């Protein structure tokens, strides 16, 4: 791939700090495969958004994100801050090295560092959909954000908050499973009203609702087996009014692709999803916890160019 400018946006804290310890090796491999590039090293949440915006403004044609799904989300939001005529010239590469890295279970992006950089060098580009979310931050201000993978609310927001506040040294499965089990015992089910495409409308008692562009979240939970990043639709999985014994009995079905076999799980699709509740419900947006309901989500078809194998 021949591009005028390349920028790497690196989160050294991703993967419980492993990205920072591996960076010298990643950098050497990347310079061998790709040549010269600018490096932006994040220090705190939000840095990757501004770095991506700045790199695109400086005519970077290829942005490479090194980190997890949260960092990837920030880089995408930085790109999407530009007008369509500008962002359409930008291609995104991803070297996954985070706690969850669930998105690479949907798209064929290698988890091996060298293979991921080789894929970026090969220049096989696909155009994917994104979701655009309106919500309220923790101060009550209305905010907007794009997501590439999954936005969930209810239990998912509580789990994301818990995972991000604790150590991730035991890896993604243990981190998310432990947070999920604790949250199940501490968390109460919510009454949430969902409206889809100005037509379907119903109130549900739920543990969690996932609005999915990708198929996996929470360290490998296969919550939306039918979701596609190419179809111009969002898949909605409602995990409804299960008893605690039913929750534990069906936990394996969250990982084996049989979630639709669970009684009290409802699946829907649409281009616009609205959700409200009289109870506070936290959000999980690509593994981050930026705020709470109410929410409005639109699909943005063909919004992003990304490199896969």
Cα Rg, the chain, nearest whole Å = 19
109, 309 contact by CB (below 8 A): yes
As a whole number, the mean pLDDT across the chain is 90
CATH entry, 131-301, from 1.20.1600.10, 3.40.50.970, 1.10.260.40, 2.60.200.40: 2.60.200.40
Average pLDDT over residues 139-166: 81
Q: Rounded to an integer, what distance in angstroms lies between the CA atom of residue 40 and that of residue 156?
A: 30
Say how far apart CA 209 and CA 273 lie, in whole Å. Answer: 11
Say if residue 207 is preceded by a cis peptide, omega within 30 of 0.
no
Q: How far is the C-alpha of 95 from the C-alpha of 119, rounded, in Å? A: 10
Instruction: Please state the separation of Cα 133 from the chain's center in Å.
Output: 12
Q: Where are the alpha helices (DSSP H) in the chain?
A: 18-34, 47-57, 69-79, 84-87, 113-122, 155-165, 172-186, 244-250
Mind listing the pLDDT tens digit for each residue in 113-136? 999 999 999 979 999 999 999 999
CB burial class (10 A; 0-12, 13-18, 19+) of residue 169? exposed
Evaluate if residue 201 carries a pLDDT over 70. yes
Which SS3 state, helix, strand or coil, does residue 18 take? Answer: helix
Two tokens, residue 80:
């999407």
Instruction: Tell me the domain boundaries of the chain.
Output: 6-123, 131-301
- So what's the pLDDT on residue 2? 47
Q: Which residue has 């919004």 as its token pair?
A: 303
pLDDT, residue 184, reads 66
Q: Residue range 24-46: average pLDDT?
A: 96
Higher pLDDT, 183 or 64: 64
Element (H, E) at 202: strand 200-206
2-11, 144-153, 216-225, 297-306: least confident range: 2-11
Please give the model's pTM, rounded to 2 decimal places: 0.90
Structure-token pair, residue 37:
């590039």
Mean pLDDT value across residues 52-59? 97
Question: What is the mean pLDDT of the segment spanning 232-250?
Answer: 93
pLDDT at 166 over 90: no
* Lowest-confidence segment of 4-8, 53-57, 168-172, 303-307 by average pLDDT: 168-172
Model confidence at 228: pLDDT above 90? yes
Q: What is the DSSP letter of 187?
A: P
Calculate mean pLDDT across residues 41-57: 97
At 48 the pLDDT is 98
Looking at residue 91, its pLDDT comes to 97
Q: Model confidence at 288, in pLDDT bands (50, 70, 90)?
A: confident
How many residues in the chain? 309
User: For the chain, what percentages of helix, strand and coil (3-state, to nearest 5) are there?
Assistant: 30, 35, 35
| Per-residue 3-state assignment (H helix, E strand, C coil) for 76-136 | HHHHCCCCHHHHCCCEEEEEECCCCCCHHHCCCCCCCHHHHHHHHHHCCEEEEEEEEEEEE
pLDDT higher than threshold 70 for residue 167: no
Task: Say how far apart CA 32 and CA 46 lie, in whole Å.
Answer: 29
211 pLDDT above the threshold of 50: yes
Q: Which fold has domain 6-123?
A: Rossmann fold (3.40.50)
Residue 192 pairs with which residues in a beta bridge?
Answer: 204
Which among 59, 8, 10 is positioned nearest to 37, based on CA atoms?
8
């Amino acid at each position: 791939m021949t591009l005028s400018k390349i920028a790497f946006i690196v989160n050294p804290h991703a993967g419980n700090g492993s990205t920072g310890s591996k960076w010298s090796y990643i950098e050497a491999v990347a310079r061998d495969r790709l040549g010269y590039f600018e490096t932006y090293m994040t220090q705190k949440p939000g840095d990757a958004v501004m770095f991506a915006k700045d790199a695109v403004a400086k005519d970077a044609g290829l942005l490479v994100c090194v980190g997890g799904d949260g960092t990837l989300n920030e880089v995408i939001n930085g790109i999407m801050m530009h007008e369509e005529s500008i962002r359409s010239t930008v291609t995104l590469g991803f070297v996954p090295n985070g706690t969850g890295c669930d998105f690479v279970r949907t798209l064929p992006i290698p988890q091996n560092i060298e293979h991921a950089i080789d894929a970026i060098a090969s220049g096989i580009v696909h155009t994917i959909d994104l979701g655009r979310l309106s919500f309220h931050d923790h101060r009550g201000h209305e905010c907007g954000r794009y997501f590439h993978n999954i936005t969930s609310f209810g239990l998912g927001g509580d789990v994301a908050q818990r995972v991000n506040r604790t150590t991730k040294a035991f890896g993604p499965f243990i981190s998310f499973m432990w947070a999920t089990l604790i949250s199940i015992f501490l968390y109460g089910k919510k009454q949430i009203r969902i409206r889809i495409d100005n037509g379907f409308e119903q109130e549900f008692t739920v543990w969690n609702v996932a609005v999915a562009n990708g198929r996996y979240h929470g360290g490998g939970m296969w919550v939306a087996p039918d979701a596609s990043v190419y179809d111009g639709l969002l898949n909605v999985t409602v995990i409804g009014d299960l008893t605690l014994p039913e929750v534990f009995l069906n936990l394996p079905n969250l990982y084996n692709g049989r979630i639709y076999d669970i009684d009290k799980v409802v699946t829907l699709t649409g281009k616009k999803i609205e959700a409200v509740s009289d109870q506070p419900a936290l959000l999980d947006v690509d593994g981050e916890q930026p705020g709470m309901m109410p929410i409005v989500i639109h699909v943005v078809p063909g919004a992003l160019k990304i490199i896969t194998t």
